[in-house]
Structure 1
């Protein structure tokens, strides 16, 4: 059970090309989520632009930006006129200034692609706001799925309740969206894509959109619940079926899109409580998506939904550096959350930067080899890429041999290299 990396390319390069361009990254990305749930309140584009030189110097290769278009909700996740780049985060001019500064500092801009649902402008069939009169992309009820009040076909995924869901089976909808995505890439200046609520429409459409627009890197938010068993509903040790669902989604994109590794997040935030054995599966591999398809696994410990002021599924706050010590040394594509990097104090920021420096200097990447050396109640230890060792947890552990040098350490974690 599980996925073989060999199906989609060899060595350390991702496979997948559109018009000769590699569309799913280089395997050495380190991502920053450049916002939280409240960022729209703070003139975000100019504020973030001031931080771009610092972000670049730290070693981030790509910054995930919040939805940059007109939206009913200030956070951007109820889009209306998606060709309007004036949002609660700032004006079109401010956005383009930010993107130019990012380009000048060799930091890629990741667009948040919200195309599962769209708020209408006009009441149509059934008295619902399921028409888009007067907007760019002036769709009618045919663009809305039948199960959310439109005249389109049934949804190919889960419904996002309360607003019209887009029917991606319609040729005119897909053509319009492909033109829009190409505009974001070629005219606006975004290079990477993050697909919001990827459970809401079939992954084959994500493949089609990526092939049309050719982003350098793409990641999908395929988030469903981990496996819990009654009566206590404590997290199951075996999360194979959970990660298999994410693997299947990635596979249905033709391997062109990565996915956030929600399996690893769920396991890791239980492991830090003194259950480090959870991080080694029954085959001796990492227990999340990164254990089966690491080059398509975007690892993270928090985002604007799970943490921030929403707090839907928060990582234990007194263990975040153990979490970062894990994801920044392991295979996969690690993502750092804005709040942790900028709002939790200089000590946390310095520790994250040091771990990133080790990742780069020792050339750890999405497909680095890993050997788990210990996974017990109190300590987890692993060797990554033959020249880095790390441990997390309250238990004592260090690598054997004089060739190992302590590279960094903090509360309940340490990293060594040769």
Structure 2
């Protein structure tokens, strides 16, 4: 689940810092929100922080949702440093991320995998070993100890941030060899010796077995976990000490990123969500928006918007902003769409800043990739976009204009929040356009600082705005 990353260098601009918006979905987990100087527990149905429309970015180092909602940080990349330091690395960044308006962090698979201290976690052996048992050649995982993981989660909650666990339940690795009557050979399916003593498995818990020959898909030659087996269901989400409930109630994770959901039916995630709760998003690596929508509805879960991802690549790397008119998951159901520009598996978009301007001004739940934020792109520009997202990106979306190198869209505002107009220009020249806004006879400004104009909209809400070359501008009321 690895890929090659493209290093991008961008021009630095002096700009503002900030936050953004969203609304609701399905599974609840309490969050802290400041409302009229009182703190109350309020959530969206998807477990993400809800805002009543008066929110600021961050108060005293704690994340507070703005009217636009929250932003997710992918808190790792492929092959993060070995040596058990990663949990502490992430923990030390949480306050700064909270200050910037990031409301949740997605962590890599946290339990012990076959390659022990060298594994990125996608070859799971013992779901209950978080770096506290001596097995697979180490006590700690690649990322650190259980104590360090728990300290990270506690720190995130202190910052009013949620923590999402990467859940790998399609396949397992690291079992011992055993005779398998369903294959007539030996298979590596004996997990009776897992150090935690929990969720011990044998050949009948993997395909092929008494429940059938296969399910929706195996991965990489690993033993394919059989979700049709009631024993497996019970240990994954049913019993009080099931994997899901242990992660939520003991380890205190708030939500789930389900790995390789093409490998099993959406009913599996639906059952997990019904029994365990919390925010969830599935990695359904498919650009077909019909497939994404079908899976999200049947899984009762959000899904990564791969349709938008590949359209952004076409738009920003191949000189065709008209591609942004095409269908995407966030257009079908923004409450179930998690948008992204890069992740640990795939990083094909080269022209990343306009792509981030796109996802942080449009509907959906936007994700920021760790290396983009901490290493490769201009952090001040990203913080400015996060602020705009959290404070201005509200309401439905109307596309106002597109051609090969210009794209203009309007967020129509919600519950008293004015919304915004975003102008993306991939040409080498300044561009200007007349557009229809949400505002009559009001002064507006570009909240990125790229334009020095302070135009006043006409009585019919039309106004001329501009955009720098190879950049973007984002306009809203000057207030």
TM-score bracket, shorter-length normalisation: 0.7 to 0.9
Does residue 269 of structure 2 align to residue 269 of structure 1? no
Does residue 274 of structure 2 align to residue 184 of structure 1? no
TM-score of the superposition, structure 2-length normalised? 0.73
Alpha-carbon distance change, 92 to 195 in structure 1, aligned in 2, over 3 angstroms: same
Task: State how far apart, in whole Å, the 1-side matches of 2:309 and 2:365 are.
Answer: 13
Does residue 325 of structure 2 align to residue 280 of structure 1? yes
Does residue 80 of structure 2 align to residue 39 of structure 1? yes
- Tell me the residue number matched to 2:146: 92
Task: State how far apart, in whole Å, the 2-side matches of 1:137 and 1:271 are.
Answer: 46
1:209 to 264, 267, 272: 272
Matched length: 368
Task: State how far apart, in whole Å, the 2-side matches of 1:250 and 1:63 are.
Answer: 21
Q: Deviations over 1:125-168 (max 9, x none)?
A: 2222012121131111111011xxx5542333122131101000
Does residue 162 of structure 2 align to residue 140 of structure 1? no
Q: Deviations over 1:168-227 (max 9, x none)?
A: 011110110111110100111110110000111100111110111111x11000013x4x
- Tell me the residue number matched to 1:299: 339
1:77 positional shift: 0.2
- The runs of 5 or more residues in structure 1 that have no matched partner are 1-10, 227-241, 282-286, 308-313
Question: Do the aligned partners of 1:167 and 1:173 also contact (CA within 8 Å) in 2?
Answer: yes
Between 202-211 and 397-406, report the one with greater CA deviation: 397-406
Once the two structures are superposed, the pairs formed by residues 325-404 of structure 1 within 5 Å of their partners are 325-344=357-376, 348-362=378-392, 364-365=393-394, 368-386=395-413, 387-395=419-427, 396-398=431-433, 400=435, 403-404=443-444
Task: State how far apart, in whole Å, the 1-side matches of 2:78 and 2:29 are.
Answer: 34
Alpha-carbon distance change, 350 to 198 in structure 1, aligned in 2, over 3 angstroms: same
| Stretches (4+) displaced over 2 A | 11-23, 25-29, 150-156, 397-404
SS in 2 for 1:357: helix
Instruction: Judging by fraction of residues, say which structure has more strand.
Output: 2
- Tell me the residue number matched to 1:247: 293
Provide the alpha-carbon RMSD of the alignment: 2.1
SS in 2 for 1:295: helix
Question: Do the aligned partners of 1:33 and 1:303 also contact (CA within 8 Å) in 2?
Answer: yes
SS in 1 for 2:113: coil
TM-score of the superposition, structure 1-length normalised? 0.83
Task: State how far apart, in whole Å, the 1-side matches of 2:433 and 2:386 are.
Answer: 21
Task: State how far apart, in whole Å, the 1-side matches of 2:105 and 2:162 are.
Answer: 6
Alpha-carbon distance change, 23 to 143 in structure 1, aligned in 2, over 3 angstroms: farther
Question: Do the aligned partners of 1:389 and 1:399 also contact (CA within 8 Å) in 2?
Answer: no
1:398 positional shift: 4.5
- Tell me the residue number matched to 2:220: 161
Task: State how far apart, in whole Å, the 1-side matches of 2:371 and 2:275 are.
Answer: 34
SS in 2 for 1:298: strand
Higher relative contact order (CA 8 A, sep 6+): 2
Instruction: Judging by fraction of residues, say which structure has more helix.
Output: 1
- Tell me the residue number matched to 2:169: 115
Alpha-carbon distance change, 22 to 324 in structure 1, aligned in 2, over 3 angstroms: closer
1:16 positional shift: 5.2
- Tell me the residue number matched to 1:290: 330
1:62 to 85, 104, 110: 104
Question: Do the aligned partners of 1:259 and 1:298 also contact (CA within 8 Å) in 2?
Answer: yes
1:324 positional shift: 0.3
Greater Rg by CA: 2
- The runs of 5 or more residues in structure 2 that have no matched partner are 1-21, 31-41, 51-68, 132-140, 414-418, 436-440, 451-467
Alpha-carbon distance change, 54 to 79 in structure 1, aligned in 2, over 3 angstroms: same
